[in-house]
Amino acid sequence: MLRIALAQVNTIVGNLTGNVNKILAHLDRARKLDVDLIAFPELAVPGYPPEDLLLKPSFVEANIEALDRIAQATEGLTAIVGYVDRDDDIYNAAAVLDRGEVAGVYHKAYLPNYSVFDEERYFRAGECPLVFQLAGAKIGVNICEDIWYPAGPTKTQALAGAQLVVNVSASPYHAGKGLSRERMLATRAADNVVLMAFCNLVGGQDELVFDGGSIIVDERGTVIARAALFDEDLLVADLDLGAVFRQRLHDPRLRKERALLRAEAVQYVELAPPPVRLKPRTPVSPQVVPHPDARAEVYRAIALGVGDYVRKNGFERVMIGLSGGIDSALTACIAVDALGVDNVTGVFMPSRYSSTESQEDASQLADALGIDFMTIPIDSTFQAYLDMLAEPFAGTQPGVVEENVQARIRGNILMALSNKFGWMVLTTGNKSEMSVGYATLYGDMAGGFAAIKDVPKDLVYALSRYVNEREGRKVIPQHTLDKAPTAELRPNQTDQDTLPPYPVLDGILHAYVEEDRSLEQIAALGYDRATAIEVIRMVDRSEYKRRQAPPGVKITPRAFGKDRRLPITNGYRET
């Protein structure tokens, strides 16, 4: 029996001292649990993704010194720790630490360079899978992307005799990814008749959330242990590596494949036998934390992303402009879950166009959540702007400019409060709005973090209903859920004066933004061609706004930000 622990830790990019201390604390915990082998996530030492910190030689050097400190603390157990290795180039690496030393180093072979990933920008790819021997067991190590390729290192390692493959990952979340990742891991384990231990990062880092959910899969593809989702955890299990031998005898595919393996294709590391244990260990029954339902999963991902962004950047409190509408209501609920009710302030900023219902909806929400609530009327300042601009605007008609001025006054108020009291502003725009630019730059787009930036409007409603169901009461007022969405920047305005109905808008946006479909293909899905053209143009025209938007949590396969890199200057027209 091999006792393994997967340390699903929440690191902070760049905080080498903090990350090392966290790793050392988990080594201590594991040692007390008589663990033989413990794994930490990909790049656990520098945090993931370190981006251009990797271009600083002093940072890479400090990360190697940090690894050495960890190595010295590996008495009594073996650890797999992600860090940046360096010779005349740098590598995304995992070290096998044993008896105070670096016993072996694996370099990631498959470097993702798509979507949010830029690993080819930094790393040289490794060329040789690693297998180490520990107490008679052969164990392979690989890193994140490596496991997604059927012909990748896992296959080589299994053919070279590994009974267990440990994959250390920093796998960014999007809705439903955990389940598809588990399906892949199960297939990989069963195909190669190998035990798989998948140790994932957890936590938020700028636009990304890592969802944890580390798992162990047996050689038939059954999940036998699962760590918490969206939280730190230490997953411990006893593994029967002998079962792998027995199962392999029955699989004729392996013999065929083994004939293709070149002996020199793998580096072997033999570790000294582990210390003799004087008293037998009590077997552990590994936990299998269930998956949350789809809405809870997304909600918790956003809450983790918001909480970590705020805290890891040195803030405690946030502030949200409450309009009485559903976007700011949902954002406030998430903030309370992420940071606690004492750390959220709602600010209602009525103008001449704000309805009394909006004020009631906003204050009801604040009451239901129990958060601080401020009201700052903007009309006298709005009038000062109108007076100040009367001369340059002489002879023009009021319109969207005057609407934007109101939004920007509100942005200024929130930023003034933020600067004065050190509270971070959370913006409240959803993905549908961000897609078509239905937002005021420097107005409602002003703030530090955009909680629901990647949440389409239909999902905003679904998550809002989820909150009320979960709490068993109307935290978000029914009127907020029922009324027609409006920016209230002119009399009797609704979003649908400017935009197609949200179900149509969201359908076109999904096809265009997330699936890269052409106008023809979108029309073929049944959407009105003229509407599709208008939506596509709005998306293309708003790239400049999105480029100046605050970051937000990625929850879809294609978020705005570093996941979608379109030029601002762009003459392509889908017609």
Give the residue numbers marked as catalytic.
Answer: 42, 108, 144
Of these, 258, 316, 547, 557, which contacts a second copy (CB under 8 A)?
547
Whose Cβ is closer to a second copy: residue 66's or residue 239's? 66
Of these, 40, 173, 210, 309, which contacts a second copy (CB under 8 A)?
309
Q: How many CB atoms lie within 10 A of CB 392?
A: 7
The residue range among 163-171, 323-331, 380-388, 480-488 that interacts with a second copy, by the rule CB under 8 A, is 380-388
- Residues between 433 and 472 with contacts to a second copy, criterion CB under 8 A: 441-442, 446, 448
The site string for a second copy over 288-307 (x = CB under 8 A, - otherwise) reads --------------------
Name the token pair of 229: 């989702």
Peptide bond before 49: cis, by omega within 30 degrees of 0? Answer: yes
Shortest gap between Cβ of 383 and a second copy (angstroms)?
Answer: 8
380 binds a second copy (CB under 8 A): yes
500 binds a second copy (CB under 8 A): no
The site string for a second copy over 347-376 (x = CB under 8 A, - otherwise) reads ---------------------------x-x
* Rounded Cα–Cα distance for residues 210 and 227 (Å): 13
Of these, 285, 356, 396, 492, which contacts a second copy (CB under 8 A)?
396
88 binds a second copy (CB under 8 A): no
Which residues, in sequence order, are bridge partners of residue 238? 3
Which residues, in sequence order, are bridge partners of residue 131? 140, 268
* Rounded Cα–Cα distance for residues 192 and 212 (Å): 24
The residue to which tokens 């690191």 are assigned: 11
Name the token pair of 221: 């593809």
- Residues between 13 and 32 with contacts to a second copy, criterion CB under 8 A: 13-16, 18
Of these, 21, 113, 287, 498, which contacts a second copy (CB under 8 A)?
113
Residue 148 Cα distances to 78, 129, 130, 224, 438, angstroms = 25, 15, 17, 20, 38
Whose Cβ is closer to a second copy: residue 213's or residue 448's? 448
Shortest gap between Cβ of 311 and a second copy (angstroms)?
Answer: 10
What lies within 8 Å, CB to CB, of 4 at 6+ separation is 35, 36, 37, 38, 39, 164, 166, 197, 216, 236, 237, 238, 239
* Rounded Cα–Cα distance for residues 21 and 511 (Å): 45
Of these, 9, 53, 84, 451, which contacts a second copy (CB under 8 A)?
53
The residue range among 28-36, 69-77, 114-122, 503-511 that interacts with a second copy, by the rule CB under 8 A, is 114-122
String of b and e for 192-224 (b: at least 16 CB within 10 Å)?
A: bbbbbbbbbbbbbbbbbbbbbbbbbbbbebebe
Of these, 1, 59, 528, 531, which contacts a second copy (CB under 8 A)?
59
Judged by CB under 8 A, how many residues of this single chain contact a second copy? 87
- The answer to whether 156 touches 118, Cβ cutoff 8 Å, is no
Of these, 38, 40, 47, 147, which contacts a second copy (CB under 8 A)?
47
413 binds a second copy (CB under 8 A): yes
